[in-house]
């Protein structure tokens, strides 16, 4: 019984140490592997012009989970008419937001941290439901990513990036 207690405490201590270490250095997502905390330099000034994102193929988005450990993913982005948009594609179909962890997180808590290059931006996402805007932003995405094989507008979910409140 005493050995079990020691092993349990040792495991818990190792887990806490690992999480503290990851919090300090970050764990960015890579390719199809999600990450945890994003690392980089936090930009606190409001962003007026997101056109600099045209030079970035992929960006990172960190969402807030229910259990307090962030979940981060890679995604595509575009600016359109002065606003900045992210998207989530359901290539095999699926139910929005249930079939993507980061989408569930955003719909529950829209506060996110976005990493573009080495810079971090605390922002807020809002789901775009207006069909004419969705169509226009989707067309902008297709133009920015000509190599991308869109699963069709019905399987692409778009989020507008707004300043954090």
pLDDT bin (cut points 50, 70, 90) of residue 87 is very high
pLDDT at 109 over 50: yes
What domains are there in the chain, each with its CATH number? 29-163 (2.30.110.10)
Show the 3-state SS of the chain: CHHHHHHHHHHHHHHHHHHHHHHHHCCCCECCECECCCCCEECCCCCCCCHHHHHCCCEEEEECCCCCCCEEEEECEEEECCEEEEEEECCCCCCCCCCCHHHHHHHHCCEEEEEECCEEEEEEEEECCCHHHHHHHHHHHHHHCCCCCCCCHHHEEEEEEEECC
According to the model, what pLDDT value does residue 36 have?
80
C-alpha triplet 130, 132, 136: angle, nearest 5°:
115
Summarised one tens digit per residue, pLDDT across range 8-64 is: 565 654 555 445 444 444 567 776 778 889 999 999 999 999 999 999 999 999 999
Alpha carbon 55 to chain centroid, angstroms = 18
Q: 29-43, 79-93, 104-118: which has the minimum mean pLDDT?
A: 29-43
Work out the average pLDDT over 88-98. Answer: 92
């Amino acid at each position: 019984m005493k050995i079990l207690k020691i092993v349990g405490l040792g495991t818990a201590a190792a887990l806490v140490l690992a999480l503290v270490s990851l919090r300090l250095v970050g764990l960015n997502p890579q390719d199809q592997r999600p990450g945890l905390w994003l690392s980089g330099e936090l930009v606190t000034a409001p962003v007026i012009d997101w056109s600099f994102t045209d030079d970035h193929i992929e960006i990172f988005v960190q969402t807030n989970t229910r259990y307090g450990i962030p979940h981060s993913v890679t995604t595509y982005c575009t600016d359109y008419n002065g606003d900045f948009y992210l998207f989530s594609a359901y290539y095999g179909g699926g139910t929005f937001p249930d079939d993507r962890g980061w989408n569930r997180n955003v719909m529950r808590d829209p506060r996110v941290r976005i990493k573009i290059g080495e810079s971090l931006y605390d922002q807020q996402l809002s789901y775009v439901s207006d069909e004419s805007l969705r169509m226009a932003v989707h067309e902008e995405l297709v133009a920015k990513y000509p190599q991308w094989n869109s699963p069709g507008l019905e399987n692409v979910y778009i989020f507008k990036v707004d300043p954090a409140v």
